[in-house]
Amino acid sequence: MKERKKIAVVIPRFGLVGGAENFAAELTARTAADPRFDVQVFANRWRGAVPGITLHRIPVIRFPRTLVTPSFAWFANRAVAREGADLIHTHDRICEADLFTMHGIPHRLWVRDVRGKRMSLFDRATCVVEARLVANPRCRRFLAVSSITKEKFIGEYGVEEARVLVLPPGTDVSRFSGIDRERNRAAIRRSLGIDDSTPILLFVSMNFEVKGLDYVMRGLAELKRRQPPAMPVLYVVGRGNEGHYRRMAEELGIGRHTRFSGVTGREQLDAIYRGSDFFAMLSRFDTFGMAALDAMAASLPVVLSGNVGAKDLVLDGVNGFVAGDPADAKAVAERFVRLLDPEIRRRMGQEAFRTAGGQSWDEIARRQIEIYEGLLAI
């Protein structure tokens, strides 16, 4: 039997709450199941032991904050060099790697264009480490979670397009298969005090402002002005400035058509997905948007802004809609109107489920392993 190839996976937090953390954990666990690979994870924090994976703790200097990124990068590369690796796959900024998965856009653009802030010393240090990694000749491939991420990265660093591949997150469609949709629809409507014929427009986020809850509300208010035969209820799940958005709903005249649940557990959230009718995410900026893929896995057609990376999976009018400008309430309302038709929702929901089925974690892991094979020439 050939000697196993040592894969070093680097990420500050492994398997903890967060898109990048879960992405790395799901794919790394599947890679470790391949007998050709000896997987070693280098992280500062993790949730617990993972079968087939060796974990190495990487220290971080947290004060002054300027040293957080450089210290993790230096200690991580030092530890990887000590252990040895045939391939280094990093999910964060370090000094040297063969493969870099970009879960966000270049840090300078994030600070300037998304946050609208001035560069701090921490930001400048992070940018330096990032630029050094990109310029390092060992780093032969870059993985972007969406076409938005890819475009921003190429625009910032001028990397050849052939070196930047898109590998989006996956999902687990089986998590919804054991949930009785009709029973959930009835139970959720009872809890919300609405009748069985009222459609539920679902919004899920831990940051209402960035994910565009105000745009969703304005689109719903525009829909109400058109006096549709069945006015949907907007069901808001997650965390944000709830008081502010409750007042906004009242001012827009949709207070009685809006409900807030707060943060829910995974099991309850899955039941909410299965009991809803369609989903909206009109983010100001989102490198991917996992909630959109989860909604598709639950057979919900989605309405996304052109700023959401998950739009790569949407065939407009087939499994959802892309509303290019989320601030255009009339355009958003037009998409909502289409989805008030039960037959259109059913057909598009089926297509959304098919799309999500092609994005299983097993399939995404298979594609990542193909990239490993190419870099390792095996």
Which CATH number goes with the domain that contains 11? 3.40.50.2000
State the pLDDT at residue 177.
82
pTM over 0.85, yes/no: yes
Residues 309 and 279 placed together within one structural domain of the fold: yes
State the pLDDT at residue 324.
84
State the pLDDT at residue 184.
87
Q: Looking at residues 100-124, what average pLDDT do you find? A: 95
Rounded distance between C-alpha atoms, residue 45 and residue 56, angstroms: 9
- Total domains present in the chain: 2
pLDDT at 126 over 90: yes
Spatial neighbors of 42 by CB under 8 A, at least 6 apart, are 8, 9, 10, 11, 56, 58, 76, 79, 80
Residues 324 and 245 placed together within one structural domain of the fold: yes
Question: What's the full length of the chain, in residues?
Answer: 378
Residues 77 and 194 placed together within one structural domain of the fold: no
Q: Where are the alpha helices (DSSP H) in 142-202?
A: 147-157, 181-192
Rounded distance between C-alpha atoms, residue 342 and residue 348, angstroms: 10
Residues 213 and 158 placed together within one structural domain of the fold: no
Residues 42 and 83 placed together within one structural domain of the fold: yes
Residue with tokens 């560069």: 119
Residues 61 and 102 placed together within one structural domain of the fold: yes
Residues 347 and 367 placed together within one structural domain of the fold: no
pLDDT at 1 over 60: no
Tens digits of residue pLDDT in 134-174: 999 999 999 999 999 999 999 999 999 999 999 999 999 89
Residues 323 and 372 placed together within one structural domain of the fold: no
- As a whole number, the mean pLDDT across the chain is 95
Q: Where are the alpha helices (DSSP H) in 57-161?
A: 68-83, 107-109, 121-135, 147-157
Per the structure, the complete domain to which residue 247 belongs is given by 173-357
Residues 69 and 138 placed together within one structural domain of the fold: yes
State the pLDDT at residue 152.
97
Residues 137 and 237 placed together within one structural domain of the fold: no
Residues 142 and 226 placed together within one structural domain of the fold: no
Residues 132 and 279 placed together within one structural domain of the fold: no
Question: What is the percent of the chain where pLDDT is above 70?
Answer: 99
Tens digits of residue pLDDT in 309-349: 999 999 999 999 999 899 999 999 999 999 999 999 999 99
